[in-house]
Amino acid sequence: MGVAGAGPGRLLVSSGTRDHRYDPATAWRVYQGEDGSLTVSTDAWQEESHTLMAIRTDWYADAAAASAAGGMPPDVAGRVTRALGAEPLPPPPYRDFAEAFRAGVTPTPPEPVPGLELAVRHRPAQDEFGVGGDWYDVFTLNDGQVALVVGDVQGHGASTAPIMARIRTLLHAYAVVTPDPGRTLGLVNDFLDRFPGPAHATCTLAYLDPTAGSLRVARAAHPPLLLADPAGTPRIEDVEGGLPLGMLADQGYPCTTLTVAPGETLVLVTDGLVEGPQLALDQGMERLAHRFRRSRGLDLEATAERLFKLADLTGHRDDVTMLLARTKAG
């Protein structure tokens, strides 16, 4: 039951290996055309002077006809059914690697922290790859304080993701052994300077002690932070900072101590939320404060959702990351 002129479409399943152990009896491929029809290709193989040559011998319009002609193993119907959707085809090896890489550089939801409510949002600029240069991190230090981090590697896209992962790891490692957030940023900066490359990043690193009500903040050329009192009234804290990480060696990053009352909310963002081609940073921060003020009465997740929509109003597409932390009242 040959089909003249039939050609392959989307490959669904195949069998056989193209080496000296190749078995022509199980050499078949099943394709699906644009109209949904199935086409089965069978091959005959010859070995001449150690050179393998494939000769297409028959084309079949459906699996049943091919099976009846002896062109495929008896279980082909089940395998074709699985290929058509009941069981997806295994992804190619490179896709496994890509997914593993994506999982390794994509921020994951933070672990619960006693005395603290957390809400995070993250969106890379390029949906094709699903990775970017923005990140957040939340982890507990040895003395019980909580480290809160938001950072942004220069540029965006897949090429910035490995740099981001390196800086995130450095910050985590230095923070757990360094009691001053400014000193932590300095150590990371000096490490990056010793290994020159496109590894510049802005960052805010804060050590929060919910029990004592203190917040120590250091910035590396990052947007200001937002603090809101329990009533929902926000204030912009443009604390002193330094150059981007990796820009120049031996930089100082001042540490500013702020008071945080029970029920207050800290908002850390990357510039993709508050800056754009026609939107200056100070205007974006004022808009963020205004949107927060209008979110009074909402829980933290709902507040985060409303604030994060500001990213669509900046006039361009950029990596966007946001971290909200609220100390629990009482």
Q: 258 in a domain, yes or no?
A: yes
Please say which residue of 90, 114, 133 terminates a domain: 90
**Higher model confidence: residue 93 or residue 115?**
115
Domain residues for the domain of 26 are 10-90
Shared-domain flag, residues 47 and 113: no
Indicate if 77 and 128 belong to the same structural domain: no
Q: pLDDT at position 5, please?
A: 39
d(CA 140, CA 150): 15
The mean of the pLDDT values for the chain is 79
Looking at the structure, do residues 148 and 284 belong to the same domain, yes or no?
yes
Does residue 3 belong to any structural domain of this protein? no
pLDDT of 50: 38
Q: Are 215 and 277 in contact (CB under 8 A)?
A: no
Are 150 and 216 part of one and the same domain? Answer: yes
Min mean pLDDT across 101-110, 159-168, 212-221, 262-271 is at 101-110
pLDDT value for 306: 97
Percent of the chain with pLDDT over 70: 65
Domain membership of residue 109 (yes or no) is yes
**CB distance 321 to 152 below 8 Å:** yes
pLDDT of residue 221: 97
Q: Is the dihedral of CA 296, 300, 306, 307 positive or negative?
A: positive
CB 323 within 8 A of CB 265: no
Q: Supply the CATH number for residue 241's domain.
A: 3.60.40.10
User: Are 158 and 32 within one domain?
Assistant: no
Query: What is the pLDDT, as a whole number, of residue 281?
Result: 96
1 belongs to a structural domain: no
56-60, 146-150, 180-184, 282-286, range with the lowest pLDDT = 56-60
Of 90, 113, 135, which residue is a domain's last? Answer: 90
Residues 178 and 221 occupy one common structural domain: yes
* Domain-ending residue, one of 69, 90, 111: 90
Residue 3's pLDDT is 37
**Residue 315: pLDDT band by 50, 70, 90 thresholds?**
confident
Q: What is the pLDDT of residues 77-108, one digit of tens each?
A: 556 555 555 444 455 555 555 555 565 566 77
Comparing 133 with 53, which gets the higher pLDDT?
A: 133
77 and 119 fall within a common domain: no
For residues 131 and 49, membership in a common domain is answered with: no
Q: What is the pLDDT of residue 325?
A: 97
Query: Are 111 and 245 contained in the same domain?
Result: yes
Other CB atoms closer than 10 Å to residue 222's CB: what's the count? Answer: 24
Residue 2 lies in a domain: no
Output the DSSP codes for 64-76: HHHHHTT-S-TTH
The mean per-residue pLDDT over the stretch 314-324 comes to 91
64-73, 125-134, 278-287, range with the lowest pLDDT: 64-73
Looking at residue 268, what DSSP letter applies? E
Q: Quick check: is 95 in a domain?
A: no
Element spanning 186, H or E: helix 181-194
The distance from CA 293 to its chain's CA centroid, rounded to whole angstroms, is: 29
Is residue 148 predicted with pLDDT exceeding 60? Answer: yes
What's the alpha-carbon Rg for the chain, to the nearest Å? Answer: 28
| Nearest-angstrom CA–CA distance, 152 and 4 | 58
**60 and 159 belong to one structural domain:** no
In a domain, 96, yes or no: no
Q: How does 285-316 read in b/e, with b if 16+ C-beta sit within 10 Å?
A: bebbbebbeebeeeeeeebbeebbebbeebee
Residues 237 and 270 in one domain: yes
Cβ burial of 155 (10 Å; 0-12, 13-18, 19+) is middle
Residue 201 in domain: yes
156 and 223 share one domain: yes
Q: How many domains does the chain have?
A: 2
